[in-house]
Amino acid sequence: MQNMFSLAAFVSLMCLASLSCLHEVHAQPLVQKESPSASKLAIVWTSSDPEVAHRMVLIYAHAAKKAKWFDEVRLIVWGPSSRLLAADKDLQSKIQDMKKDGVFLQACVVCADSYGVADRLRELGLEVKGMGKPLSDLIKDPETHVLTF
């Protein structure tokens, strides 16, 4: 009987200790670390697929700016997409609308030169320049989300 009383006392004591710990955990306010809110979007468009351009890249980039999902939206034309943009009148028209609405337009000069379209992209209003360092800076910037298509 003495052992049973001791066991019951021990179990009761453990329950009280558990409840006390539980109270301590819940009594303290939850502190969440604030993550920096990314207010900039950089889209690296590399695909030569016109459907990807028409149905995803340009639609999202333009909507992100117009709907103010981000404070700054930048479209970087890189690789085969530069040749596609230089040849596709519909894409060129969409790019002009994006520019009017405040989307920053850039293109990699090395890629544009390799496709022979650097001058055409400049005529369309894109800033054509070396993009290796600027892209690296964007990737490192905690305020910028970088998407690649």
Across the chain, which has 149 residues, the per-10-residue mean pLDDT values are 48 44 42 57 98 97 98 98 98 98 98 98 98 98 97
State residue 37's pLDDT score: 66
Residues 19 and 58 in one domain: no
Residues 75 and 120 in one domain: yes
Domain limits for position 27: 1-31
pLDDT at 35: 43
Residues 82, 54 within the same domain? yes
94 vs 3, 5, 27, CA distance in Å? 84, 82, 55
User: What's the pLDDT score for residue 17?
Assistant: 45
- pLDDT at 28 (0 to 100): 45
Return the pLDDT at 68: 96
- Please tell me the total count of domains within the chain: 2
* Sequence-ordered list of residues with C-beta below 8 angstroms from that of 77, at least 6 positions apart, any chain: 45, 85, 105, 106, 107, 108, 111, 112, 121, 126
Instruction: Give the largest Cα separation in the chain, rounded.
Output: 97
Claim to verify: residue 3 and residue 56 sit in the same structural domain? no
